[in-house]
Every structure is written in structure tokens, then in C-alpha cells.
Amino acid sequence: MWTLAGSLTLAVPVLTGFVIGSIQAVRGSPWRHVLRGFQTGVVRWILGLAFILYETLVTLGGIATTLFRMFVTRKRLLQWTSYSDTVRVFAGEVAWQQMLAAMLSSVALSGLIVVFNPAALFVAMPLLIAWLLSPEIAYWISRPTRHTPVLLSSDELQRLRSLAWRTWLFFEQFVGPEDHWLPPDHFQEAPRGTVVHSTSPTDVGMLLLSDLAAYDLGYIGVWDLSARLRETFESMEQLETYQGHFLNWYDTRSLEPLLPRYVSTVDSGNLVACLRTLEQGCQDLLHKPVLRWQNWEGLLDILTVLDDILKELVAAGLKSAVAPCQTRLAHTRQQVQAVQGDPDAWTPLLLRIADECRSEMTQLLASLVESNAPTMEAGTLRRLSLATDQR
């Protein structure tokens, strides 16, 4: 009875989750989600029972180590085991060495049961065997999952690239001289459209990698990438630091730290990871050609996003007003796709797009906005304006 009570204690989250899921299923949620969650919970419960002896020994060892370091040595108070080390331990034969104490404890407990309460050996046997084999179980569930790569369809790839362009529009629109080329933390779209002029080391790291990704996707050229990175780094040099760490929040307009002033090791780690990635990406730029088809793919992404916005207007009942713009977009797309394999034709086409096509498209969009602005939603109008600015 004690063994059953102790085992079922770990199953409380499984049972409560199943009850809550059943109530949601009665109210309309799919039963397959409830059953899938219950199945996952049962597996975690069984694994919890298999590893409870090892985790108990680890916890007791951690408590003893902490007390010894706090009250005796006063050293290595911030030391911890990284996730990569944990993966390395349980992904190879070293798992047996790491969990040897649990195996020996399982054998010792078996001997104590045989000596003091032989009748309980039958009940305790499943747990004792699980604890004895826990290193093999840990190794088995820690093996890497091998997924067969599935190629994206052309529609899925275009959808991803459209999402990338829409994401880049945030940095294109809100990162500039007013904020010392540092990224505002977020833009509150409703109710008034407010930019929050504060940034963190994580925000800055995301900006740097977004600049690099924008170049890879063809949204900016190498000159724009260099200028953006230079401006951001110059602003970072003006920020107050503490022992080499950036503080967690700064005002992007004054560059002053925001209260309360503190250092976040998480944000510092995020920034370091982004800087290391940026370094590798910039090294790769040395081996890339100046003339790239990726720039034309970036132009196609702009045309796709603009076409998506026009489709929203068609759905809103402005089909006749939008039709000339859609025709011009489709013609420009055909022209770009026709020269994909002919670099000699890129420059003449670029000049034609920058002159005739841009002028015609600007007039069509301006006429569309002027004649239908009262009936357009604010969000659609803002996105159309942004996309037009990127023409």
C-alpha cells in the first residue's frame, strides 16, 4: 500500500490533466487532444518512477554541495551544469558512470528488503529493476531523433518569405536615427500605434541578426548592411556597462539606462550568441558575389506582400479599383522571373523598373489610396503605405 501510494503521488498531474481535458472535451475540444496528452503524461509518470532514485541522490548531493560551498569553502557558488554537458552525459556510455550511484543503491535496497522484509520483494521488484536499468533507459530515450527532411512546396516557401519580409518591415520602419539605430522593444498597434522607445541586449542581438538575414534574403545590399551594423555598434559603444555587461534596459532616444538598473545574464548570453553568429556570417560575406539573384528574390517578396494587401482590398469590395495595380504587379513579376538566369539583363531591367514601372505603380497606388482611403481599414492602409515606401 505504501508503494502504491508513493507511486500514485507522481501521477497526480496526469490525473488532474485528464480530468481538466475531459471537461474541455465535453465542451467541444477534440478528444484526440485529451488522449494524446494523457498518453504523454503516463509515459512521463513511468519515466519519473524509473529515475526517482537517481534524482533523489542528485538532489541530496546538490544540497550537500551547496551547504559546503556556502558555509565552508565560499567558492564556485555560481557553478552549474550546462545543457550541452547533460546531453553529452546521457547520449553515450558515460550515462552508466553518471548513474552508478543509483544502480548501487538499487542493489543495496534489494539486499535490505531480502534481509528485513522478504515478502515485500515481489512488490518492490518492478521499481528495483527499473532503478537498476535506469542508465540504459536514460540512454535509450536520449538518442537523437532522426527526421526525414521534407522539402517545402513553392507556395509554402513563398509564404515563409512573405512572413520574413513583413518581419523585416518592423526593423526597416522603426530602427533609425531617432533611436540611434537601436531597435525599439515593440510597437503597440492598438489603439493608437505607439512605439516603445526602450531596448535590451536581446533586442539588439535580434536586430543584428535581422540585418544579416535581410542581406541573405536580398532585402538590403552589402553597403546597407555595413552601414546599419556600423551605426548600431557606434551606439552600443555609448551605452553604460557594468564590468563589461550591458544593462538590461536603455532609452533608445537618450541612451540612458532605465530603472531599475540591473544586469541580466540571460540577455548577455543572448547578445553574445547573436554576436558570434553575426561574426561567422560576416566572414562568409567575403566569399559571396556582389551581383546576386537574391536581391531580385527580395524584390519578388515585396511584390508578393503588396499583392497580398491588394487581395485584402479585393475582399473588401474594391476589386475594380485594385485591378490596375494587380495587373502592373503581375507584369513586373513576369519580367523579373524571365531574367533569372541572365545576369546581363539584370541592369537594364533594374533601370526600367526604377524608372517606368516605379513611376506607374506609384501613381496607381496613390490614386487607389486617395479614392478609397475612407473605406480602408487603418491596418490595411498602414501596410499598403509601408509596402509602397519599399517600392
| pLDDT tens digits along 38-47 | 899 999 999 9
pTM strictly above 0.75: no
Residue 361 banded pLDDT, cuts 50, 70, 90: confident
Residue 49 banded pLDDT, cuts 50, 70, 90: very high
pLDDT at residue 389, as a whole number: 55
pLDDT at residue 390, as a whole number: 53
pLDDT at residue 202, as a whole number: 96
As given in the structure block, the three cell numbers for residue 67 are 551547504
pLDDT at residue 33, as a whole number: 82
Q: How far is CA 150 from CA 84, 160, 366, 385, in A?
A: 27, 15, 42, 37
pLDDT single digits (tens) 245-302: 999 999 999 999 999 999 998 999 999 999 999 999 999 988 888 777 777 888 888 8
pLDDT at residue 228, as a whole number: 96
Mean pLDDT, residues 57-63 taken together: 91
Mean pLDDT, residues 116-137 taken together: 91
**Which DSSP helix (H) or strand (E) runs through 349?**
helix 346-352
Q: How far is CA 391 from CA 67, 148, 231, 382, in A?
A: 64, 39, 24, 15
pLDDT at residue 378, as a whole number: 59
Mean pLDDT, residues 9-18 taken together: 89
pLDDT at residue 388, as a whole number: 56
**CA–CA gap between residue 70 and residue 1 (Å, rounded):** 40
Q: What percent of the chain has pLDDT over 70?
A: 92
pLDDT at residue 382, as a whole number: 63
Residue 391 banded pLDDT, cuts 50, 70, 90: very low
**CA–CA gap between residue 174 and residue 33 (Å, rounded):** 41
- The residue among 359, 358, 348, 344 whose CA lies nearest residue 302 is 358
pLDDT single digits (tens) 149-181: 888 898 898 889 989 998 998 999 999 999 999
Residue partners of 100: CB distance under 8 A and separation at least 6: 135
Residue 374 banded pLDDT, cuts 50, 70, 90: low
Residue partners of 240: CB distance under 8 A and separation at least 6: 247, 250, 256, 257
Q: What percent of the chain has pLDDT over 90?
A: 40
Residue 97, classed as helix, strand or coil, is helix
**Which of 130-134, 268-272, 313-317, 337-341 bottoms out in mean pLDDT, i.e. has the lowest?**
313-317
Average predicted confidence (pLDDT) for the chain = 86
pLDDT at residue 46, as a whole number: 94
pLDDT at residue 149, as a whole number: 83
Cβ atoms within 10 Å, residue 52: 18
Letter for the amino acid at 111? G
The residues that bridge with 196 in the sheet, in sequence order, are 186
